[in-house]
Amino acid sequence: MSFLHYFIKEEGPSSALIAKERLQIIVAHERRQRDGAVTTQLDRILPQLQQEILDVVKKYMKIGNEDVKINVEQEGKYEVLELNIILPENELKLRHKKVHET
Amino acid sequence: MSKIIVVTSGKGGVGKTTTSAAFATGLALRGIPTVVIDFDVGLRNLDLVMGCERRVVYDFINIINGEGNLNQALIKDRRVDSLYILPASQTRNKDALTLKGVAKVLEALKKRFEYIICDSPAGIEHGAIMAMYFADEALIITNPEVSSVRDSDRIVGMLASKTRRAVQDMAPVKEYLLLTRYSAKRVENGDMLSVDDVTDILALPMLGIIPESESVLHASNSGTPITLDNESDAGMAYLDVVARFLGEDPPVRKKKSLFSRLIGR
Ligand SMILES: Nc1ncnc2c1ncn2[C@@H]1O[C@H](COP(=O)(O)OP(=O)(O)O)[C@@H](O)[C@H]1O
Ligand SMILES: [Mg+2]
């Protein structure tokens, strides 16, 4: 290790050490948030909820897998479930008729 | 019993695809039937890293939508016998993956393969959730760098709450840490987080350390998974990862491997 390097080291902690300390704080904080969050309850059922909504909508109209979007947002102390279904333009009536015929 | 393994990280560009290719190839080199699936729909790259980009006909989304059958979509590797690749669609987006569709494909693959490796897209959204949802085990790819470590911790949280194993109260997903793009020199200089720093923070069992290496770039240039280059430092490190994963205690290499040096053997 060069003299210069040694000298620089004396100036203060290495940047890796600073990184570690910052990480320890933020990770601990985020874990606490995660553990305490009620969000997880709603959050964890999201994939299944999305699948089931997709299945139901598909019974009545022709949509792609990507046309049902679902999301949970935290707004203050409330959780908002955001559901977005992109409907096809002319399919609705057609499929509806078919469902009733069968 | 076949196992589903997700290669995940949160952050992009940390080495998930490199690892998926290397790890799957390493397992198949042992004669174990292995398939590696690209979940990065819209940003397919595994095909390039595996060197089979010109053989893609049908893809993962085609199979989910019933537009082709699985045998048509699976690409058999020309170098390693028991290795197959299921490419992602390039023209769709990640939202085209559904829980049901993924489940259907995985069930079919389980009949043929012992290991199913899922190369996750970056992020913590739908695509990443689809890749991890059915996993039995997870390789968490982390670079020794602040944003990567933080993202990995987030992914650990998701594995514990948003996977099938979590939702159905089964045994949790088994997690392994894989530290990649590691530069021992920069750690020595105090410029990069060390192995100990990262394991202190993430508290995950360490499966291996992959050095930052030129050879990875060369391998991807030529479409060769790095584990086929067993002369390279990164290739050897990945082969050791496979050995450790299979419960072996890989012998210390002549030029002491980074891992054994770091864990002081
Ligand atoms: N150990 C390594 N040494 C050097 N470069 C690497 C290493 N691992 C990955 N890379 C490079 O980093 C980039 C991102 O890797 P990739 O596997 O595509 O990451 P991800 O799938 O996580 O986005 C690629 O250019 C790859 O070649
Ligand atoms: Mg990738």
Count of residues in chain A: 102
Looking at residue A101, what is its pLDDT?
Answer: 54
Instruction: Tell me the pairing of strands B206-211 and B174-182.
Output: parallel
Looking at residue A34, what is its pLDDT?
Answer: 83
Of B95, B166, B197, which is closest to A65 when you measure between CB atoms?
B95
- Best mutation target among B67, B129, B143, B162 (most A Cβ atoms within 10 Å) is B162
- pLDDT of A39 > 60? The answer is no
Answer with the residue of higher pLDDT: A42 or B232.
B232
- Tokens linked to B246: 């299979």
Task: State the DSSP string of B166-184.
Answer: HHTT-SPPEEEEEEEEE-H
Looking at residue B173, what is its pLDDT?
Answer: 98
**Residues, Cβ < 5 Å to ion ligand 2:** B 16-17
The whole-chain average pLDDT of chain A stands at 79
Q: Alpha-carbon distance B121 to B130, whole Å?
A: 10
**Residue A55: φ, ψ to 5°:** -60, -45
pLDDT digits (tens, 9 = 90+) for B78-103: 999 999 999 999 988 888 999 999 99
B163-172, Cβ contacts within 8 angstroms, sequence gap of 24 or more: B163/B132, B163/B133, B163/B134, B163/B135, B164/B133, B164/B134, B165/B135, B165/B136, B166/A44, B167/A44, B167/A45, B167/A48
- pLDDT of A87 > 80? The answer is yes
Contact B259, B240 (CB under 8 A): yes
Which residues of chain B have a CB within 8 Å of the CB of A65?
A: 64-65, 95-98, 101
State mean pLDDT over B164-171: 94
Which stretches does DSSP call E strand in B3-110?
3-8, 34-38, 75-76, 83-86
- pLDDT of A10 > 80? The answer is no
Residue A63 Cα to ligand 2 middle (Å): 28
B92 → chain A, closest CA residue = A66
Looking at residue B262, what is its pLDDT?
Answer: 61
Q: Alpha-carbon distance B177 to B161, whole Å?
A: 18
Looking at residue A11, what is its pLDDT?
Answer: 63
Of the listed ranges B25-29, B65-69, B208-212, B213-217, the least confidently predicted one is B65-69
- pLDDT of B265 > 50? The answer is no
pTM of whole model > 0.95? no
